[in-house]
Structure 1
């Protein structure tokens, strides 16, 4: 066998990769303990591995997704705001589909992406179908892709592996959608909703309506779509040779979640299944970040992950349960539809948040504001000026309600502002230094002052 034949055989032996990613889900699934009907995604967790403490680098779409695709933090790869508002990965950036294409994979985007505002082929995709981003419609798009692949010429059908990124819009707001049948929203009704998954929100009619619609959208569109995609892979005889990954970009589109650097804004569902390799329903509580996702997926399929990015593979955790070498995760926000600079670090026990706000009042992205009576909740939670620093003891205060740092704001030096809790002064000093060192090591432009808007027309 020639060197070329050996190389082709090695490539053909690699598993296919299917990455399904949705908007704004956080960890709102039954397998994470949420009160929502998600049997298909729960089954994926039972077949594979569930990451209990998976976080993203940014509580908003484009910056978080830029980390998923590059293994770099948003302020490193330049995507510090939303793609449709001018921020984009430069063509020179290596991405997950580019790495896989170089390794012999065909690469395909079906549905949604948000790392560039224009031509997704810039990200390394050979084939793009963005005709829909609706969950249930994408089932048909995936079926068409699999049928086309089966009908391809003998060379392609001989086993060249493929990478498919399936981008689903739901459950992005609005939770109630015209194209979703009314019957989907019949159960649960607002009166039956359990608000225990939302300790940071009050029991108000608008909140109950929101949560009921959210539950219906997850249960009626997202979950069955993922189940159908897995069924299609099985029917095509590909499931046993496919690494299947499901994740989301950031936390739920609720006040004090999306658009914040708290757990509720940065936590992400992450489910991985690779028959014979990553299976058995294991649950791991190691801290992982989606900056680690691209290196991990490359490692799992036998492609050397990059060594010049911040992300580090946790493939050994998925395969063998070996501890992941990460004792803290970092989060950031710079621009959304206006300037909102925040940085954070989370360890096993503590979260430290540094607010660099230049606004007199806290800003919350417009796409997390609840509808109807829920707007009062937005006002209740987000009219105050954030303090310059926040520290939370997650062991004693898992919902991050009691700030143990000073309540002094970025504009305030008043003597009557509170001092840090005396029990946590050392922790505050340590995490404050740690965050600054990370910002310096990663050349965070925020250290030099306010970050200007993207240089676009």
Structure 2
């Protein structure tokens, strides 16, 4: 009996030791995983120094670019906040998420989908959100994505769009002036509050593997920024829109009335916008961009101070591009290049090449599988993008043949869109078909030759000389994203 007791005790001790070693190994494996700093910027087009813009003052984003890789040809899947973010965060395209407007939650169509941060949470990461990552309203949030409740995620509760009395005392719509220049500290505005909160969060989560999502709202309208950022630019020397006219031959369905901008009190409800107001708006966009750049700098500085930079993957992305008067358009909500092309920068610990650019065609829907792979996690199932990991070491690698975007008309629809515009971008062309949403009948087409017309000033879809390209690109569009990916 005594011998059996000793044997059982020895077996228990051995099992306890094995369990302890296994648990400690698992903890070390999790702890050694790279952190993720996931930075979203609303309405940011590639008006950045690292993208060759000589006007923009963006030293901190450029600093990040110098550490990583810049994707020169990155595209969103739908050029407006909620659909683009739902697509990126689920790894599914808008026709899978069924999010084509600002009011639908992706879990209505995909109740059990595992989001990007949720996937990291399932693999031992602490996931946290500060600022705008999903769309703004309370009902648009996704609590299951995060380890703790969101911080400053809903604009109405997070902080002010305005600080000056002339704007804050306006009754009715929350829209007042389209710009605001105030002599205040960064933290007076919501994005200053977001960066301050994010820095504090880094202090508390630094000792565990984290996925920290930080979302900034500027340069979304209104273009509100502290005075010091306005002072960086000389308004009269800022470039006016290079192609202010509607493209020749473009169907009406491809355009819009710039309703988002025209809702502000200092903007005409219709007709031309005065030249000086255009200059003020462009000034405000650049000032807001530099304001956000400074907030990103605070995050990078704190990572360095905490000695986390060498074990943190940093990704900077925007949900879509933006029109600043080009094509006689303001804001987003089209399939044009200026709205669908986005800045995308990725910095990964240990990457061999720094400050590189790649002209490979990539999409925001690719971020989910990319971050999973770079963190050493299993490939997620069901996503509709591919990992961009190989481009880190081989920026010139042969890559996607085409990337895809879409947009509905009318934009503010009731039950479902009447028409959906599907757009494919190849190396040399952008081709768009506007389809009856139910019958799939083609209502209009667009074709832009990016070799000769990168500003998309002339629609060639009805030009017989380009009928072969129209047929070929129509086939590419119908074949879909899977046929366009490298094999």
> How high is the TM-score relative to the length of structure 1?
0.78
Instruction: Tell me the secondary structure at the aligned position of residue 118 of structure 1.
Output: helix
Aligned counterpart, 1:124: 145
Instruction: Tell me the secondary structure at the aligned position of residue 280 of structure 1.
Output: coil
Distance 1:68 1:319, change over 3 A: farther
Answer whether contact 2:71 2:343 (CA < 8 A) is retained: yes
Please list every run of 5 or more consecutive structure 2 residues that lacks an aligned counterpart in the other structure. Answer: 1-17, 160-189, 246-273
Aligned counterpart, 2:333: 259
CA positional deviation for 1:308: 2.4
Question: Aligned to 1:19, which of 30, 38, 47?
Answer: 38
Answer whether contact 2:40 2:133 (CA < 8 A) is retained: no
Instruction: Tell me the secondary structure at the aligned position of residue 399 of structure 1.
Output: coil
Instruction: Tell me the secondary structure at the aligned position of residue 10 of structure 1.
Output: helix
Aligned counterpart, 1:380: none
Question: Aligned to 2:292, which of 202, 217, 222?
Answer: 222
| Alignment partners' CA distance in 2, 1:257 and 1:315 | 32
Distance 1:126 1:401, change over 3 A: same
Aligned counterpart, 1:296: 370
CA deviation vs aligned residue, 1:189-229 (integer Å, no higher than 9, x gap): 4311123xx4232693332221111111111x100000111
CA positional deviation for 1:118: 2.2
Question: Aligned to 2:468, which of 426, 431, 446?
Answer: 426
> How high is the TM-score relative to the length of structure 2?
0.74
What pairs with 1:43-442 in structure 2 (closer than 5 Å)? 43-82=63-102, 85-89=103-107, 90-115=110-135, 117-118=138-139, 120-127=141-148, 128-130=150-152, 132=158, 134-149=190-205, 157=207, 160-175=208-223, 177=224, 180-195=225-240, 198-201=241-244, 204-219=275-290, 221-254=291-324, 255=329, 258-277=332-351, 279-321=353-395, 323=397, 325-334=399-408, 336-338=411-413, 339=417, 341-356=420-435, 388-406=444-462, 421-438=463-480
Answer whether contact 1:24 1:249 (CA < 8 A) is retained: yes
Instruction: Tell me the secondary structure at the aligned position of residue 138 of structure 1.
Output: helix
Answer whether contact 1:316 1:322 (CA < 8 A) is retained: no
Instruction: Tell me the secondary structure at the aligned position of residue 201 of structure 1.
Output: coil
Please list every run of 5 or more consecutive structure 1 residues that lacks an aligned counterpart in the other structure. Answer: 151-156, 359-385, 407-420, 442-457
Q: After the TM superposition, which of the residue ranges 17-26 and 134-143 deviates more from structure 2?
A: 134-143
Answer whether contact 2:436 2:443 (CA < 8 A) is retained: no
CA deviation vs aligned residue, 1:387-434 (integer Å, no higher than 9, x gap): 71000110011011111112xxxxxxxxxxxxxx23211110111122
CA deviation vs aligned residue, 1:130-182 (integer Å, no higher than 9, x gap): 263732222210122123235xxxxxx3xx3100110110100111x2xx333
Aligned counterpart, 1:382: none
CA positional deviation for 1:4: 3.5
Answer whether contact 2:87 2:365 (CA < 8 A) is retained: yes
Instruction: Tell me the secondary structure at the aligned position of residue 106 of structure 2.
Output: coil
| Matched residues, number | 384
| Alignment partners' CA distance in 2, 1:113 and 1:243 | 18
Q: After the TM superposition, which of the residue ranges 423-432 and 284-293 deviates more from structure 2?
A: 423-432
| Alignment partners' CA distance in 1, 2:214 and 2:323 | 21
| Alignment partners' CA distance in 2, 1:307 and 1:147 | 33
| Alignment partners' CA distance in 2, 1:315 and 1:166 | 22
Q: After the TM superposition, which of the residue ranges 124-133 and 136-145 deviates more from structure 2?
A: 124-133
Instruction: Tell me the secondary structure at the aligned position of residue 37 of structure 2.
Output: strand
Q: After the TM superposition, which of the residue ranges 394-403 and 112-121 deviates more from structure 2?
A: 112-121
Distance 1:354 1:23, change over 3 A: same
